[in-house]
Structure 1
């Protein structure tokens, strides 16, 4: 990542904490601020930056191993059309959680967290008519529903990138995907973990110095039970009807995690 793009991300995080989702405009007795809790590097931490690795867990494509690995300063997620998850109607190459030297970070009810990072979406990673998720927030455990999904979806034939809150039934925002192909995009995602109407999210995408989308939703459900855990990678259905499934990949870099305290 270039120095200028790193500066843009840093400036966004160091801005007023009052911009955080779910905060009142009134000045609190204690001025909350973002505290950095997670700052891995691909070269230094490798896959040890994450709580778990879901790399071809069905062992469907041994010749493609590893599908998730470090290349330069980036984490790379490869997806081949022959890859299959344990549910054979879909594909999954993902990592989960935020691991630190003392364990992993737990996002629990009432807390507010922020994740910033940069992603490179090649032209071969296309939006589909069924689900293609490149970030999720879930309760850990088998069979749990996603709480937040950042997805590549075809809408009336147009490729888009969107953020959805499935358990709340809320579309946070959506924008055209094609201008973001074959370039680095900065992601700034905030979540207040709350049950019922106690949660909120903010989702921002930037391309260089241009803000592509900046959307906030408050009064929404962002909690199931236990805790919320982030996931990154490629998780997509094989049910696409647009012919968009290709061998592809996703790159991530400069992952950072902050808690509002």
Structure 2
């Protein structure tokens, strides 16, 4: 990771208190330094070149076997994880496409995000101009309850409205947009993501979403007093999951790159 990228993520971690999100660490202890206040403990830091796809709990790579000639659609490539989507790819629900990974695997086990806990994910993403926002859903990160038939809790999505391409974070079940910013300035460059989530029922949950690029904070939004739990546990997902119902002509062969993935728990 470059010096400037480390500085941006460090500043984001140090600024947790400024957002006023319940339960987050103080600035002095935000990186896990000893002290009496709560601190972020690093729980997951996979290396794409070493751990490869063993970094994740499960893979959802062309579940319908719609395009075997292009397999694998998800792979570790140098120090990045790459998700490649083609216009001919189909999920088992044929009105959509999906190449995603789930969860955070650490050796022979995986992280369990439970109710009452606070978690943070940081990583860098590269969105090429071929991965466009669409008039229907295009999710590139989700927080979900594991299992079939449950909707997402939180989605990070590429959404087109009135011709404008945006990237947004939304509380899905409650239809609450936490924040949104223009996507096009982020195309073809690395963008740092810092996502924080206090897992709780009713109005006891909270989220914070920070995007930074080139040493500059693009957006920093938070929302408290929200429901961030369904049942069992919360599990993150990354990749490309998009509807074929786009009406803007934005669906193209594309890819998404992720690097420097980290998970922290507030303890």
TM-score, length of structure 2 as denominator length: 0.93
Contact 1:70 1:76 in 2 (8 A): yes
CA distance in 1, matches of 2:200, 2:79: 34
1:44 CA displacement? 1.1
Unpaired stretches in structure 1, ≥5 consecutive residues: none
| Aligned residue runs from structure 1 range 1-261, under 5 A | 1-13=1-13, 15=14, 18-19=17-18, 21-23=21-23, 30-261=36-267
Aligned length: 259
CA distance in 2, matches of 1:256, 1:49: 11
CA distance in 2, matches of 1:210, 1:7: 10
- Seen in structure 2, the aligned counterparts of structure 1 residues 71 and 25 have a Cα distance that, compared at 3 Å, is closer
Q: What is the DSSP-based 3-state SS (H/G/I as helix, E as strand, rest coil) of the residue aligned with 2:12?
A: helix
Unpaired stretches in structure 2, ≥5 consecutive residues: 28-34
RMSD: 1.8
- Seen in structure 2, the aligned counterparts of structure 1 residues 154 and 42 have a Cα distance that, compared at 3 Å, is same
CA distance in 2, matches of 1:103, 1:72: 24
1:173 CA displacement? 0.5
1:101 CA displacement? 1.6
1:181 CA displacement? 0.2
User: C-alpha offsets along residues 142-182 of structure 1, whole Å, 9 cap, x if unaligned?
Assistant: 11110000000001110000000011221100000000000
Contact 1:17 1:32 in 2 (8 A): no
User: C-alpha offsets along residues 205-232 of structure 1, whole Å, 9 cap, x if unaligned?
Assistant: 0011111000000000100000000000
TM-score, length of structure 1 as denominator length: 0.95
